[in-house]
Structure 1
Amino acid sequence: MAFPIRKILFGAVVVAGIGVVGWQISRPEYVPVDIATVTHAPLEVTVNADGMTRIKDVYEVSAPVSGQVLRSPVRIGDQVERGETVVARIEPGEPAFLDERARAQAAAALGQAQAALVLSEANLRAAEADMNNAQRQFDRIFSLHERGTASDSQLEQAEVALDLAAAQFDSALANRSMRESEVTAAEAVLIEPGAANSSGDESGDCCITLTAPVSGQVLSITNESARMVAAGAPLLSIGPQNDLEITVNLLSTDAVRIAPGARAYVERWGGERALEAQVRKIEPAAFTKVSALGIEEQRVKVLLDFVTPAEERPALGHNFRVYLRIVEWRGEDVLRLPISALFRDGGDWAVFVVEDETARLTPVEIGRRNTEFAEVLGGIAEGARVITHPSDRVDDGVLVVNRESLE
């Protein structure tokens, strides 16, 4: 009897196993998916771009004259006060070296000037002697005229001769002064570099001292070391650190979609939360910029002011990089769905709507959208459950299950 019972039990197990395998094979397959709900919520459409902070009014200090600028008395980041803090000192430059030919020419010019000076002194002595002689003649004729033995014409001739002699003396005196200046000029050409420093004159009266044109911080210094500079050469820049703005170069097709006063979010600046800014100005002219891919683009410069107080962004400074999201449009109560649920079905937008655990291909009409959500204008209603990031396994009529319920 034991043998038939074992056969019956074995047969029952085999039949049960075949039934389980058949049930597993015939059971409908569910595709795990991510599901989101279509709801009403605020929606913002933004223009995104990288920007740069900068101080609105940066003062560039340049050399007013050519000369040698001394080592910078200030450093980058130093606080300066308008009209008080010395930011640069300029002194006359050293004379240039003379080659052999130039030195010989300068020495010859000096000898010529010295000889002319000697000649002018001789002429001055001759003119002085003529003037003294004319003075004596005038005195004698004047005395005779007083006694009535000299005529009026003789007195007039003596007076004219005295005037001519005095004029010649003044001319000779001026000529000597001119020749002395020529000697000094010729000697100056022969001055060697370093001769002025070896003279021991350290009064500093010949130097120019530049003070800060505005109160603020030193932003940059062209060169901290002493050097020769030409007139107009930049020395350093100064600006008030708390007077920041943002500049961003937008594509012209993006710039036409925003307006002055538009709200903006400043992100990726290094702080924990986003800052707020507002568009102040959109420049009327675009410029051409070549992108990293070698494509010519028309860009427009847009300027923004910070709305967030400076106390909440103390570390932000001049020429810091930031990321901007400028609000082009905002809706307070918009029917929206995740942008990841959308795909193209032919030439139209479509989504997979979950109905009774089944994916249904549904065409939708889309309005404005950003990087996360899109505005729904038609095709589905609020509360509809849509599949986000649908895979190739999802199709119309496929059974689906929410991935979150499997965890």
Structure 2
Amino acid sequence: MAFSTRTIMLTGFGVALVAGLGYVTFRDDPIPVDYAEVIQAPLEITINADGQTQVRDLYEVASPIAGMAMRSPVDVGDVVAKGETVVAIVQPSSSGLLDERSRRQAEAALQEALAARQVAEADLQQARETQAFAKSQFERTQALVTRGVTSITRLEDDTQRLRVADAAFEAAEARIEMAKGSVERARASLLEPSESEGMEESCCVELHAPSDGVILSVAAISQRPVAIGAPLVTIGDAKDLELVADILSNDAVRLQPDAVAHVERWGGSDVLEARLDRIDPKARTKVSALGIEEQRVDAYFTLVSPIEERPNLGDGFSVFLRIVEWRADDVLQVPLSSMFRNGADWAVFVGNGGTAELRAVTPGRNNGQMTQILQGLEVGEKVVTHPSDDIADGVNLVERSEL
């Protein structure tokens, strides 16, 4: 039986329609993914740490005497010159008020000192008389020896007596001075504070700046009593800053001398540069926020960025440091998020013409974002980032940005 052309065309159209519907129904939809290109660029491995600035050389001015520190002549931020600017004034302590018992003891001490002075004066008078008599005896014996009336032995005896008398007279004079000093000391202990103020007004100790710089802190603005060695002001050069960061001890041992650190989050828009100066030789135990005991150590860095690039950065300011542990140029690398474990190996999915290709790779160092690829990829290839469990070798892929 012959079929008409129309029948054949309708039949062919129906078969094509059924085939198309079957393909659409049973085909695998491509999985939308994000790609990242394999690049060759510099890679840095850093140790991140919070830190703060501090003036390299601090000068603490302390009170050399016990007394009353006058109201501070300087304020925080004042510029001072070495040996010229008065940064603190201390008045020596005045005697306190005497209670009845102390007053009676002081009065008794004064009477005792006066009596001792009278005894010393009497001793001096006696020594003077003895000296005069010994001198006259010596002169008489000397004249007799000259005339041959007496012996040389008697002259020697009188000479010895004169020397003893002279020494006794000098000792008596010294005891007089000692007695006078005791009297003055006893009288001074009876002075009331109001009587000694006039004497102490000219005795204030002015302390000058030991170095050029600015006032970083003042212990107290108002007048107050201070003890010997009490801190008064702190001086330093706010432009000569160093950075100190608290890092784990096992991170510190991997840092090389003069390691570079990028200084961020200090308040300015530019990233500053610093270099490792030294690491404390002794670590300390510190409990982390999670309650874990850690061994931490302070690392000190010298700011090498010009002062013009860090205006208003001062002492005690907060900073964030990325300390370079390792760096290399022209490193083949991919995002760390593109890698996953495939058995005992590491692997990535490479987008090959819209199809996923499972590729084993050999990773190197990573900085938490990018990882070095030692083997398995080439520059310009595209890898899938954050691959889901639905992706397998040979699965169709479509870039999410093309949807």
- The one-letter amino acid paired with 2:342 is D
Identity of aligned residues (%): 47
Q: Residue 292 of structure 1 is aligned with which of 289, 293, 315?
A: 289
1:43 corresponds to 2:43: yes
- The one-letter amino acid paired with 1:76 is V
How far 1:270 moved relative to its partner?
Answer: 0.8
Q: Is the 8 A contact 1:81 1:215 kept in 2?
A: yes
Alignment deviations for residues 172-193 of structure 1 (CA, whole Å, 9 cap, x no partner): 3332322221122222233334
How far 1:87 moved relative to its partner?
Answer: 1.6
Aligned to 2:84: 84
Structure 2 residues not aligned, in runs of 5+: 1-17
Q: Is the 8 A contact 2:113 2:182 kept in 1?
A: yes
1:316 corresponds to 2:306: no
For 1:126-275, what aligned pairs fall within 5 Å after superposition? 126-128=126-128, 141=140, 167-197=167-197, 199=198, 202=201, 204=202, 206-275=203-272
Q: Give me the whole-angstrom Cα distance separating, in 1, the residues matched to 2:44 and 2:355.
A: 32
SS in 1 for 2:113: helix
Q: Residue 325 of structure 1 is aligned with which of 322, 326, 330?
A: 322
How far 1:130 moved relative to its partner?
Answer: 5.3
How far 1:277 moved relative to its partner?
Answer: 2.0
Q: Give me the whole-angstrom Cα distance separating, in 2, the residues matched to 1:245 and 1:19.
A: 76
- The one-letter amino acid paired with 2:52 is M
Alignment deviations for residues 121-167 of structure 1 (CA, whole Å, 9 cap, x no partner): 3444454455566677778x589969979857888877776666555
TM-score normalized by structure 1? 0.80
Q: Is the 8 A contact 2:141 2:150 kept in 1?
A: no
* Residues 334, 132 of structure 1: alpha-carbon distance in 2 compared, 3 angstrom cutoff: closer
How far 1:26 moved relative to its partner?
Answer: 4.5
Alignment deviations for residues 325-361 of structure 1 (CA, whole Å, 9 cap, x no partner): 1222222212111112223334432323223433344
How far 1:312 moved relative to its partner?
Answer: 1.1
* Residues 105, 368 of structure 1: alpha-carbon distance in 2 compared, 3 angstrom cutoff: same
Q: Is the 8 A contact 1:260 1:282 kept in 2?
A: no
How far 1:367 moved relative to its partner?
Answer: 0.6
**Which deviates more from structure 2 when the two are superposed, residues 108-117 or residues 268-277?**
108-117
Q: Give me the whole-angstrom Cα distance separating, in 1, the residues matched to 2:196 and 2:132.
A: 44
Aligned to 1:121: 121
SS in 1 for 2:180: helix
* Residues 261, 132 of structure 1: alpha-carbon distance in 2 compared, 3 angstrom cutoff: closer
Q: Give me the whole-angstrom Cα distance separating, in 2, the residues matched to 1:162 and 1:337.
A: 110
- The one-letter amino acid paired with 1:112 is E
- The one-letter amino acid paired with 1:249 is D
How far 1:294 moved relative to its partner?
Answer: 3.4
1:378 corresponds to 2:394: no
* Residues 290, 132 of structure 1: alpha-carbon distance in 2 compared, 3 angstrom cutoff: same
Structure 1 residues not aligned, in runs of 5+: 1-17
Q: Give me the whole-angstrom Cα distance separating, in 2, the residues matched to 1:280 and 1:252.
A: 16
SS in 1 for 2:116: helix
Q: Give me the whole-angstrom Cα distance separating, in 2, the residues matched to 1:252 and 1:149.
A: 101
Alignment deviations for residues 375-405 of structure 1 (CA, whole Å, 9 cap, x no partner): 1122333332222223455455544322212
Q: Give me the whole-angstrom Cα distance separating, in 1, the residues matched to 2:146 and 2:357.
A: 146
Q: Give me the whole-angstrom Cα distance separating, in 1, the residues matched to 2:56 and 2:253.
A: 24
Aligned to 1:54: 54
Q: Give me the whole-angstrom Cα distance separating, in 1, the residues matched to 2:177 and 2:329.
A: 90
Alignment deviations for residues 26-47 of structure 1 (CA, whole Å, 9 cap, x no partner): 5643433222111222222222
